[in-house]
């Protein structure tokens, strides 16, 4: 099962409205710093984290205890303009885990971490790379490539939703989706063909190792100029 943690920035919208109309550059700087620290503190504990809307943050926290999560919230709060709370939930379906974690985060008091059943089982992460998309910028433009990638993100989101997919854009032409650990290559091959992509999948007991294995599989496909799907599993 995958263990998802959602971190809530309590009163974030209200904080932005106190900054006046010339505020967007301030908001972007705060978000960038919070993103940096989010990735740093979770990767240090072998977890994997990514912002959602910036007023909510997501992490894959298999194996982390309530004490460790509470400590992380305290550390992140030093970089947040508003109080934080978090909710954690585990389920075989990542989307169910995220939904229930979100509900717990909404219930939690400032500085509190609520866990609705933890898990140290396996998590699966698919790292998706669009083939030859960078080369296409030579005859289109950076913005047209950006538009194309976002259209593909939506295709990936819709395709992987039945597999519990939580799909996120990493930047460039890279997309990531947290999926059910029972997924197999035959489930993913039609997607690789549909969007002309390489898909590396990592399955491990922690989010960071799952992401490492997914990227290792992707790099292996790139090295041999291969297409399709490769899966690596932690022993």
Out of 8-12, 25-29, 77-81, 140-144, which region has the weakest mean confidence (pLDDT)?
A: 140-144
Dist. CA 100–CA 82, nearest whole Å: 23
Tens-digit pLDDT profile for residues 151-176: 999 999 999 999 999 999 999 889 99
CA-nearest of 164, 54, 175 to 100 is 164
Res. 2: pLDDT tops 90 = yes
Kindly list the domain boundaries of the chain, sorted by start residue. Answer: 2-115, 123-233
Say yes or no: do domains 2-115 and 123-233 share a fold: yes
Name the superfamily (CATH) of residues 123-233: Reverse transcriptase/Diguanylate cyclase domain (3.30.70.270)
CATH classification for the domain delimited by 2-115, as one of 3.30.360.10, 3.30.70.580, 3.40.1160.10, 3.30.70.1230 = 3.30.70.1230
Q: Which tens digit of pLDDT belongs to each residue from 168-219?
A: 999 988 999 999 999 999 999 999 999 999 999 999 999 999 999 999 999 9
Write down the pLDDT at residue 136. 59
Using DSSP, how many helices (H) and how many strands (E) does the chain show? 7, 10
Question: Which residues are CB-neighbours of 151 under 8 A, at least 6 positions away?
Answer: none
Residue 142, pLDDT score:
81
- pLDDT per residue as tens digits for the range 80-112: 999 999 999 999 999 999 999 999 999 999 999
Please write the tens of the pLDDT for every residue from 135-154: 655 677 888 888 889 999 99
- Token pair 């433009």: residue: 141
- Find tokens 């409205």 and name the residue: 17
- As a whole number, mean pLDDT of residues 71-75 equals 94
The runs of H, that is alpha helices, within the chain are 12-17, 24-43, 66-77, 94-107, 142-160, 185-195, 207-223
Instruction: Identify which of 168, 187, 60, 65 has the alpha carbon closest to the alpha carbon of residue 124.
Output: 60
């Amino acid at each position: 099962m995958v263990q998802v943690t959602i971190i809530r920035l309590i009163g974030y919208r209200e904080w932005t409205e106190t900054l006046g109309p010339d505020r967007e550059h301030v908001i972007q700087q705060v978000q960038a710093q919070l993103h940096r620290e989010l990735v740093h503190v979770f990767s240090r504990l072998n977890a994997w984290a990514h912002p959602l809307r910036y007023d909510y943050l997501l992490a894959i926290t298999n194996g982390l205890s309530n004490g460790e999560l509470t400590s992380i919230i305290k550390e992140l709060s030093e970089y947040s303009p508003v109080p934080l709370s978090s909710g954690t939930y585990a389920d075989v379906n990542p989307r169910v885990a995220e939904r229930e974690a979100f509900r717990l985060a909404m219930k939690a008091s400032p500085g509190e971490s609520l866990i609705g059943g933890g898990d140290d089982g396996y998590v699966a992460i698919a790292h998706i790379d669009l083939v030859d998309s960078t080369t296409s910028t030579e005859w289109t433009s950076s913005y047209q490539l950006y538009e194309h990638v976002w259209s593909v993100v939506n295709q990936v989101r819709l395709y992987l939703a039945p597999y519990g997919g939580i799909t996120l854009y990493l930047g460039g032409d890279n997309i990531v989706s947290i999926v059910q650990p029972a997924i197999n290559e035959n489930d993913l091959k039609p997607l690789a063909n549909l969007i002309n992509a390489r898909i590396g999948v990592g399955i491990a007991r922690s989010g960071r190792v799952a992401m490492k294995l997914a990227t290792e599989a992707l790099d292996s496909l790139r090295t041999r100029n291969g297409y399709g799907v490769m899966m690596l599993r932690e022993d």
